[in-house]
């Protein structure tokens, strides 16, 4: 393919070199004339392993050139936008460079093409940017001919500095956002030969990917360093701790606990987080991330309760399917479902609970104390399977997988233990 890359910074230049390594012809566009001259002279503008060799080979095969001018796009198959999105004063991304490049492409592209020019954006975008900024710019120049002229794609990159070339050829995943979530033949050709899971989505799911990934990486680093400070302050080997921690790929380093859904609770997590907060305070480790965990967990319970109430009429009838922390148990200790149930009752809703594992007479010790402290009338809330299915209910709250036992017809169900 013939590919034009707009923006020859870290991402754009690395992509340009790697794409020539796959045999594509690349023209790189950048406003910095010195950078353009360096590239054409075989001098990489960045320090990154393997890019110099790729650039030298590409120049020798006439597969790459750089320019400050917008190239003729008539025979270009794919335009990749990699310009920067620097932080604004309020922390949001400054989209001026993206908007300007989009305008330049829109002015340069012709609708009289055998197939639309695929324009793939790799800059980090806030969800909604393609539909609210990119598409309107193209439509303002091309009008009804937009679909004939361009195929808009959002294709985030996952390159790490110092291993960017290896990451390009061995990506952890490939994410392609399109208007309807369907495949793009041009993007399939670009990614041909790469061994990675491929996800075609709507624009918005693709756009949020980089935010989630990078924030998760930042969270892991911050968490690791907070634990490291605690270990160091207490004379504990952080290296040994880490070796033990990462050996657990069933729970610790895995997909478990990362699916958006209900708040955490139960007999272990809240108690142990509080205890670690206390330890960190005693040794002066200043663990701000760990200190925020219970607060953000409480905020999530509030959010879910408010979301439920917003769906209900005043004084509405609610069935909660699952009161215990986990289905099939009667452990109510710090169950987020108990907290949501309490809030619904306090707000004046008519609440019933289906949870066959819970029998008030069988509750013991701290479990008994927690249940009757937060829901003194828990026994009167419980209903059997027949009653749960009979209703009628204004809303059913699926708090855990017990909801799957019920046939509720067309009654509205909101599942708090997972988000679609």
Q: Where are the beta strands (DSSP E) in 269-365?
A: 317-321, 350-354
Sheet holding 174-178, edge to edge: 64-67, 25-29, 2-6, 78-81, 117-121, 150-154, 174-178, 198-202
Of 62, 98, 54, 94, whose CA–CA distance to 79 is shortest?
98
Q: Token digits for 170?
A: 């061995």
Answer for the pair 336, 301: CB distance below 8 angstroms, yes or no.
Answer: yes
CA dihedral 310, 315, 320, 323 (to 10 degrees): 100
Burial class (CB in 10 A: 0-12, 13-18, 19+), 394: middle
231 belongs to the catalytic site = no
Q: Measured between alpha carbons, how far is residue 127 from residues 206, 209, 211, 349 in Å?
A: 8, 9, 10, 35
Distance in angstroms (rounded) separating the CA atoms of residues 7 and 82: 5
What span, in angstroms and rounded, lies between the C-alpha atoms of 348 and 409? 26
Candidate list 17, 82, 231, 268, residue with the active-site label: 268
Residue 398 has, within 13 A of its CA and on its CB side, a CA count of 17
- Phi first, then psi: what are they for 200, rounded to 5°? -95, 125
Residue 139, both tokens: 């439509």
Contacts of 22 (CB under 8 A, 6+ apart): 192, 193
CB 38 within 8 A of CB 46: no
Q: 3-state DSSP: the chain helix, strand, coil percent, rounded to 5?
A: 45, 15, 40
Beta strands, E only, 75-219: 78-81, 117-121, 150-154, 174-178, 198-202
On whether the CB atoms of residues 4 and 80 are closer than 8 A, the answer is yes
By residue count, the chain amounts to 420
Residues annotated catalytic, as ranges: 268
């Amino acid at each position: 393919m013939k590919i034009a890359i707009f923006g020859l910074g870290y991402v754009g230049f690395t992509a340009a070199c790697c794409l020539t390594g796959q045999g594509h012809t690349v023209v790189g566009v950048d406003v910095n004339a010195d950078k353009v001259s360096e590239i054409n002279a075989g001098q990489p503008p960045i320090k990154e392993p393997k890019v110099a060799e790729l650039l030298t080979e590409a120049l020798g095969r006439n597969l790459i050139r750089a320019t400050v001018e917008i190239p003729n796009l008539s025979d270009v198959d794919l335009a990749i936008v990699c310009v920067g999105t620097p932080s604004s004063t309020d922390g949001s991304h400054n989209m001026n460079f993206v908007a300007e490049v989009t305008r330049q492409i829109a002015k340069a592209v012709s609708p009289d093409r055998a197939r639309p020019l695929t324009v793939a954006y790799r800059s980090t975008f806030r969800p909604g940017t393609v539909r609210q900024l990119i598409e309107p710019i193209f439509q303002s120049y091309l009008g009804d001919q937009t679909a004939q002229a361009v195929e808009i794609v959002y294709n985030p990159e996952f390159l790490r500095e110092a291993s960017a070339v290896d990451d390009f050829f061995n990506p952890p995943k490939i994410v392609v956002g399109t208007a309807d979530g369907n495949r793009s033949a041009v993007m399939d050709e670009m990614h041909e030969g790469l061994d990675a899971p491929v996800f075609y989505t709507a624009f918005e799911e693709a756009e949020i990917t980089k935010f989630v990934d990078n924030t998760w990486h930042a969270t892991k680093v911050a968490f690791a360093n907070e634990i490291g400070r605690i270990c160091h302050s207490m004379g504990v080997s952080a290296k040994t701790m880490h070796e033990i921690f990462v050996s657990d790929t069933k729970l610790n380093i895995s997909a478990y606990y990362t699916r958006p859904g209900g708040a955490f609770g139960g007999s272990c997590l809240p108690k142990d987080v509080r205890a670690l907060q206390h330890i960190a305070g005693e040794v002066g480790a200043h663990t701000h991330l760990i200190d925020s965990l219970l607060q953000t967990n409480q905020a999530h319970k509030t959010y879910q309760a408010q979301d439920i109430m917003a769906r209900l009429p005043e004084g509405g009838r609610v069935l909660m399917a699952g009161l215990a922390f986990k289905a099939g148990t009667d452990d109510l200790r710090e169950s987020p479902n108990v907290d949501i149930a309490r809030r619904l009752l306090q707000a004046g809703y008519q609440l019933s609970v289906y949870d066959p594992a819970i029998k008030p007479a069988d509750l013991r010790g701290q479990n008994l104390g927690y249940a009757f402290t937060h829901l003194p009338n828990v026994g009167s809330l419980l209903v059997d399977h027949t009653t749960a299915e009979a209703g009628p209910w204004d809303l059913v709250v699926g708090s855990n997988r017990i909801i799957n036992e019920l046939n509720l017809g067309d009654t509205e169900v909101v599942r708090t233990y997972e988000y679609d």
